Structure 1
Amino acid sequence: MRFKKLVVCVMAVLLMTGTVCGSTTLSMAAEQEKTYSDSDLKRMAAIIYCEAGNQSYAGKLAVGIVVMNRKRSSSFPNTVSRVLKQRRQFTPVATGKWAKEMKRYDRGAYKKGARAKCLKAAKDALGGAKTVTYRGKEINMKRYHFFSQRLKNAKLRISEHDFK
């Protein structure tokens, strides 16, 4: 009986530390369940491509984080779709470019190249990322709600976007 208790305790410790029989610990991201819908992923990947498709990964992720910051803020709509469709906020939505990108997503265009990086940034932003690493510095983005190529009183510049 004591031996069984000892084995159970050892197994519990190994499971809590994330190692069993020499396997490596799982990353936090791999342990977390997906907490967003496929349609939100498509919307987010498409807007990131439209707004920051030619920018660094940090620039792509920063755009996604701003969308999520707005979604969480009481000053903005509370869904990804409504945030993106809010009047005069995202030019690609108004011009139809965003809708075209969502059709490309449906046709499988987000599997390689810049679009695949936008998909990764969308997953990270929707999954709760709040920081980006840019030029070797980790930047906490949780207080940023606006971005543009030229933004008055900007507090931060990442790639080709100003943020505040």
Structure 2
Amino acid sequence: MNIIKKLCIVTIGVLLITISSNSTVRASEIGYSENTDEVILTIDEESSLAEEPLDAEENLEEIADADYELSEEEIDLDKYEIYVDEQGQVYYIEKKTADSDSESEKAIQENNEKNEKSNSAKKEKNKNQTEKPSYSEKDLRLLACLIYAEAGNQSYEGMLAVANVVLNRVKSPIFAHVNTIEEVIYDNKWGVQFSVIVKNSKTGKSILDKAFECYDTGKFPGKNPEAERKCMNRAIKAAKAALCGENNIGDFLYFRANNSSAASIKKKYDYKIIGDHIFYRTK
């Protein structure tokens, strides 16, 4: 009976060891000694009760070698992070360095700055495209044609000065009875202010009327059409500049040809000579 009890105890022990180690033991491995009544447990050399687990890092390297056939030199554990998914698939992820992070942040910052500049340029372009001029086409036509009629043979500076005489009168309290460019040009309260508006008795047209025709049609019937076209373009440029605030004569309100008749003006008034014209104001 003692032998049977011992056999039962040993058998139960073996079963427990077998379950915990996931190993199997053959029946021939269990016996007992007749002389000592001791149960003898023998293990075949070809089997083991428990397998020694592999080191985790060695296991990953073995899997990597089996799946990707990489050499140890190719798997730099200082350079790569190892990730194994649930199916045992091994992935090597390159570790980020401080330099790479810095370069990445620098690239992102440069890209953001580039986008900001691009957006600013687009906004400025859209603003310029949508911003309406502070003058009308009618005012530009009137002023450019008056400049062409009065100072068509003068320099750009001379044309700009004529334009500003007109605009100064629009704003001056001395000419309070006129408030627009058109009113200034056709003003005759104290007599005709600009002789170019006087109509020819034979043709019924004034010099200013002819300038309007050239402006509207782009045709110049004179002896040198190309030169006259350039003069008109210069007059338009001067008119636009004056309408946008460019001023080269201050608050002068008058001008006339700089000839012998202008001698008295030089004695009585402040003046400025530009080309063939003298521009002046009362002291």
**What is the TM-score with the length of structure 1 in the denominator?**
0.72
Q: Which SS does the other structure have where 2:134 is aligned?
A: coil
How many residues end up aligned between the 2 structures?
A: 140
CA RMSD of aligned residues (A): 3.1
Structure 2 CA distance for partners of 1:126 and 1:100, relative to 1, 3 Å = same
Structure 2 gap segments, 5+ residues each: 1-107, 200-205, 221-227
Q: Residues 30 and 146 of structure 1: is their aligned pair in 2 closer, same or farther, counting only changes over 3 Å? A: farther
Q: Contact conserved, 1:109 with 1:115, CA < 8 A, in 2?
A: no
For structure 1, list consecutive stretches of 5 or more residues without a partner in the other structure: 132-140
Structure number, greater radius of gyration = 2
1:160 aligns with 2:264: no
Residues in 1 aligned to 2:130 and 2:272: alpha-carbon distance in whole angstroms: 32
Does 1:145 find its partner at 2:271?
Answer: no
Which of 83, 98, 101 is matched with 2:184 structurally? 83
Give the aligned partner of residue 130 of structure 1: 247
Q: Match of 2:154? A: 55
Deviations 1:14-70 (A, max 9, x none): 95xxxx59xxx99xx999741111111111111101111101110011100111111
With CA pairs under 8 Å and 6+ residues apart, which has the higher RCO, 1 or 2? 1
Say yes or no: does 1:35 pair with 2:146: no
On the 8 A contact 2:197/2:208 being kept in 1, the answer is yes
Contact 2:256–2:277 (Cα < 8 Å) also in 1: yes
Name the aligned partner's letter for residue 277 of structure 2.
H
- Show structure 1 runs of 4+ deviating over 3 A: 29-33, 109-112
Q: Report the identity percentage.
A: 31
- Change beyond 3 A, Cα 1:31–1:148: farther
Q: 1:78 to 1:107 in 2, by over 3 A?
A: same
Matched, 1:70 2:70: no
SS, match of residue 75 in structure 1: helix
CA distance in 1, matches of 2:129, 2:153: 28
